[in-house]
């Protein structure tokens, strides 16, 4: 038996028909140049022969009754029916990005069966240009985006002839990069030193704020159903880096500014631009506990994305200031405290929308989640097929109707946008609005360039 921590358990406890709690990735590939006509059938047959023998893919929820359900545990499944978990589909003609987006929207709307290990993998053939896709989804209680991305990256090869394994049969390799910069004791020592040092100092003047941060009420917040709509967009990483350098900002600040510009245009068309700035939840990866290979290790900060400012240059400056302050606040607290605060905050954010928000001016919490996940910098291959896209597919938390998650792969940033189409119109329009928002920022910082055709947008 493996006990779940508070954060992982909350994803199970707060899941409902209107709020499925699985995450995923959509990987797209170019078939090898010498691929036979039955390449996809052979690939499916090959993957079907691998045993499901690594965590988290061989874990399932232990059956419990009564109050024992409040303390969920994982157990190793005696056997896993791979025929159920590994699917094979084909897109209808013409196999474009719209058809792919609709297929992922349907697959991501379907809840995972709790009597089985909580994951599914679908091979999708028929994508135009001799391409295909792989869509993997897994319950958020078993993995966060960074952990799942690392596992998927490890099973891919760095050359067309390299060895590839399915994630459910590949040994887990601990990836460095999230090691704590200091010990837990040092964390707490710095925290208390700062706390005592501030005792005799005059307090800085700060605006009176609610203890619970709340964004302005708008179309992005409210009730949702379990239906999901998925759209993607690609933007050249070099352009975003150049913008960040020109603005003396981070790449993450530039991503937030691009999203802010797109959200302004979207709200102007479908609702209104609130007088107060939208407030974004921004996940932050935490060091994993010793020996931790499954589950979540993430906290979050919230920051204004300055959507109330019309001038894109002023907007970028305001976003940089907001994220800098949010990081300072976050870094003052020990990792253990940030982890605990995030678990409690998640419970509050997701539980409160069950009661109708009667405030005419404020959302229940933040307006949306915007996440930036670092990804592989080199080209990767799967059984000889070159991966040309890696898109995150996330969840809608609380009363959020849209989530924007970004992942860097090779020379591009890949945006995955998930929304509730029953309560948020034209989710795919947000993806279409990202390139114009980037161009607007480039012009504001003297990086103007001739408009170019963006790469295809899924679900356009």
Note whether residue 26 is domain-resident: yes
Helix (H, G, I), strand (E, B) or coil at 157: strand
pLDDT at 238: 96
Instruction: Between 261 and 363, name the one with better pLDDT.
Output: 261
Pairwise CA distance, residues 436 & 264, whole Å: 12
Helix (H, G, I), strand (E, B) or coil at 195: helix
Average of per-residue pLDDT across 39-51: 96
Confidence band of 175 (pLDDT split at 50, 70, 90): very low
Report CA 428 to chain centroid distance, whole Å.
17
Q: Which one is catalytic: 22, 85, 140, 302? A: 140
Instruction: Between 164 and 173, name the one with better pLDDT.
Output: 164
pLDDT at 172: 67
CA nearest 458: which of 387, 370, 392?
Answer: 392
Structural domain harbouring 77? 2-169
Neighbours of 17 (CB within 10 A): 8
pLDDT digits (tens, 9 = 90+) for 376-392: 999 999 999 999 999 99
pLDDT digits (tens, 9 = 90+) for 133-142: 999 999 999 9
Pairwise CA distance, residues 320 & 245, whole Å: 12
Average of per-residue pLDDT across 339-358: 60
The token duo for 182 is 């200091």
pLDDT at 184: 38
Note whether residue 63 is domain-resident: yes
Confidence band of 335 (pLDDT split at 50, 70, 90): low
Note whether residue 218 is domain-resident: no
Burial of 386 (0-12, 13-18, 19+ CB in 10 A): middle
Residue pair 417/230 in contact (Cβ under 8 Å)? The answer is yes
In the DSSP assignment, the letter for residue 5 is P
Note whether residue 354 is domain-resident: no
Confidence band of 31 (pLDDT split at 50, 70, 90): very high
Query: Is 140 an annotated catalytic residue?
Result: yes
What are the backbone angles phi and psi of residue 367, rounded to the nearest 5°?
-85, -30
The angle formed by the CA atoms of residues 120, 125 and 126, to the nearest 5 degrees, is 145
Confidence band of 119 (pLDDT split at 50, 70, 90): very high
pLDDT digits (tens, 9 = 90+) for 410-419: 999 999 999 9
Average of per-residue pLDDT across 39-56: 95
pLDDT digits (tens, 9 = 90+) for 277-326: 999 999 988 877 666 678 888 888 999 999 999 999 999 999 999 999 99
Strand partners, 405: 371, 416
Length of the chain: 460
The dihedral region occupied by 63, where left means phi > 0, alpha psi between -120 and 50, and beta the remainder, is beta
Confidence band of 21 (pLDDT split at 50, 70, 90): very high
Helix (H, G, I), strand (E, B) or coil at 174: coil
Split into its structural domains, the chain has a count of 1
pLDDT at 116: 96
Q: Which helix (H) or strand (E) holds 28?
A: strand 22-30
pLDDT at 26: 98
pLDDT at 296: 86
pLDDT at 10: 85
Neighbours of 438 (CB within 10 A): 25
The angle formed by the CA atoms of residues 110, 115 and 121, to the nearest 5 degrees, is 45
Strand pairing report for 131-139 and 86-90 = unpaired
Pairwise CA distance, residues 431 & 340, whole Å: 34
Confidence band of 211 (pLDDT split at 50, 70, 90): low
pLDDT at 348: 61
Average of per-residue pLDDT across 123-145: 96
Lowest mean pLDDT among 61-75, 150-164, 179-193, 238-252: 179-193
Strand partners, 406: 372, 415
- What average pLDDT is seen over the chain? 86
- What Rg value do the Cα atoms of the chain yield, rounded? 22
Report CA 284 to chain centroid distance, whole Å.
11
Pairwise CA distance, residues 154 & 156, whole Å: 6
Strand pairing report for 368-373 and 279-285 = parallel
Instruction: Between 260 and 198, name the one with better pLDDT.
Output: 260
Pairwise CA distance, residues 168 & 152, whole Å: 10
Residue pair 213/366 in contact (Cβ under 8 Å)? The answer is yes
Pairwise CA distance, residues 60 & 118, whole Å: 7
Helix (H, G, I), strand (E, B) or coil at 448: coil
Confidence band of 182 (pLDDT split at 50, 70, 90): very low
Average of per-residue pLDDT across 245-251: 97
pLDDT at 300: 84
Average of per-residue pLDDT across 245-257: 97
pLDDT digits (tens, 9 = 90+) for 301-310: 999 999 999 9
Note whether residue 61 is domain-resident: yes
What are the backbone angles phi and psi of residue 81, rounded to the nearest 5°?
-80, 90
Strand partners, 404: 370, 417
Note whether residue 118 is domain-resident: yes
Domain at 164, CATH number? 3.30.559.10
pLDDT digits (tens, 9 = 90+) for 362-376: 888 899 999 999 899
pLDDT at 321: 97
pLDDT at 286: 82
In the chain, count H helices and then E strands: 12, 15
pLDDT at 331: 81
């Amino acid at each position: 038996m493996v006990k779940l921590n508070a954060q992982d358990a909350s994803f199970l406890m707060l899941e409902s028909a209107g709020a499925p709690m699985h995450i995923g990735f959509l990987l797209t590939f170019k078939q090898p140049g010498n691929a036979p006509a039955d390449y996809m059938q052979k690939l499916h047959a090959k993957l079907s022969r691998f045993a499901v023998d690594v965590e988290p893919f061989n874990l399932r929820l232990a059956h419990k009754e009564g109050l024992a359900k409040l303390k969920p545990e994982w157990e190793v499944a005696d056997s896993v029916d791979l025929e159920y978990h590994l699917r094979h589909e084909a897109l209808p003609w013409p196999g474009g990005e719209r058809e792919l987006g609709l297929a992922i929207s349907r697959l991501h709307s379907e809840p995972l069966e709790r009597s089985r290990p909580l994951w599914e993998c679908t091979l999708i053939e028929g994508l135009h240009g001799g391409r295909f896709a792989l869509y993997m989804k897994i319950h958020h209680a078993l993995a966060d985006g960074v952990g799942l991305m690392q596992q998927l990256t490890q099973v891919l090869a760095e050359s067309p002839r390299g060895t590839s394994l399915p994630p459910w049969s590949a040994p887990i390799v601990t990836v460095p990069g999230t090691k704590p910069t200091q010990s837990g004791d040092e964390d707490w020592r710095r925290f208390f030193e700062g706390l005592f040092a501030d005792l005799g100092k005059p307090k800085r003047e700060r605006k009176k704020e609610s203890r619970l941060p709340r964004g302005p009420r708008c179309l992005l917040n409210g009730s949702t159903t379990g239906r999901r709509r998925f759209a993607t967009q690609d933007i050249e990483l070099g352009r975003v880096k150049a913008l960040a350098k020109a603005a003396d900002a981070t790449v993450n600040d530039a991503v937030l500014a691009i999203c802010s510009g797109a959200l302004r245009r979207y709200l102007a068309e479908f609702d209104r631009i609130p007088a107060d700035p939208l407030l974004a939840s921004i996940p932050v990866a935490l060091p994993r506990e010793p020996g931790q290979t499954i589950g979540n290790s993430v906290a979050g900060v919230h920051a204004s994305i300055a959507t109330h400012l019309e001038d894109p240059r002023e907007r970028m400056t305001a976003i940089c200031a907001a994220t800098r302050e949010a990081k300072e606040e976050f870094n003052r607290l020990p990792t253990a405290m940030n982890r605990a605060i995030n678990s409690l905050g998640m419970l509050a954010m997701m539980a409160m929308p069950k009661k109708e928000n009667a405030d005419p001016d404020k959302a229940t919490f933040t307006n949306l989640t915007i996440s930036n996940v670092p990804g592989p910098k080199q080209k990767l291959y799967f059984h000889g097929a070159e991966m040309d896209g890696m898109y995150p597919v996330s969840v809608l938390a609380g009363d959020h109707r849209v989530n924007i998650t970004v992942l860097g792969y090779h020379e591009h940033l890949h945006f995955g946008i998930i929304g509730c189409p029953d309560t948020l119109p034209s989710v795919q329009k947000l993806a279409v609005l990202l390139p114009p928002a980037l161009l607007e920022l480039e012009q504001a910082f003297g990086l103007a360039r001739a408009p170019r055709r963006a790469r295809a947008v899924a679900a356009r």
